[in-house]
Structure 1
Amino acid sequence: MTSTSLGHAVEAPPSIRTAVISLVTLFAITTVHHLYGGFALGSPNRLLVPVLLLPLVASAVAALVVFRRTRSGAAVRTYATIALVLAGLLGIVHSAYSHLYKDVLFLTGGSADLYVLLNPDEHYPPDDVFFEVTGVVELGAAIVVAVTAIGLLRAARTANPARRI
């Protein structure tokens, strides 16, 4: 928190460093989760996930580097678009549904039919604590990525109101 000249508290915008750290953290958690799932659970398709995500994460980080140097609206929009897509896919689609919902359903005695209807290839009931915990932790990291991306985009727009960002 910082304050204005009138003494009102305002939220400090996220830094570019925070944006990079949050995105790389999400990628690292996702990588550990999918490599573990690929090897420990005998699911080689999961091993492709980090390979597929790497170019997206690298592109987002590169956009942040360009933004830091140039304050380019296109660069911050590129980063924010990639970051928000990754946060949505990894956080909502993967973590919230494939792990959090499944785990809550299992722990509350819910019917497997409520889960396998939308994801028939996934194992149910959950049977690996590390795999489930890392899957759920992705949601927290994805939320941080989304909040950081939105904050950085808003800060860039506020800093350059004459430029279309």
Structure 2
Amino acid sequence: MPKKFVGENSKSAAARARKSAAKEIESTRRQQQLEDEYWRDDDKHAARKQQRKAETEKRKLATTKVKEPVTHIEKPLEENVNRLQVVGEEARSIEEAIAVLSFKEAEIDRHPEKRLKAAFTAFEEANLPRIKSENPTLRISQLKQILRKEWMRSPENPLNQQMAS
């Protein structure tokens, strides 16, 4: 005859305890949810009033916050041209003085297409190795097409320089 079993199975007792604990937690959660639902305030006017109150409080905080005074000027001061000492150049008339004190602007290039070929070859020599390293599998004609597209947008292009000024 088999041995008599005295007491209860410990594994089944542990399982029952786990199930009852889970059931208890679930019931308390449901009870809490029902209570929250009961006490929830659905009044739109009260919610709007609370929101307005919070906004006004936020505005008050923003206005009461002390603004820092401007301690430095972000733009540097320009040099006073009336006190400017130009070395080497003297002006006897108003036109000469204006010419001396004004910044010499580059004359507008009337024929940029004359410099176009030389500028493009210089651009090509400078940028073709970079494009080759970026695209090692392309043919030279494809590389030159990419180079040409960059040239059209480049500030080194005399035609673009004319448009910029």
Q: Same fold (TM over 0.5)?
A: no
Q: Considering only CA atoms, is the larger Rg found in Structure 1 or Structure 2? A: 2
Relative to the length of structure 1, the TM-score reads 0.25
Relative to the length of structure 2, the TM-score reads 0.25
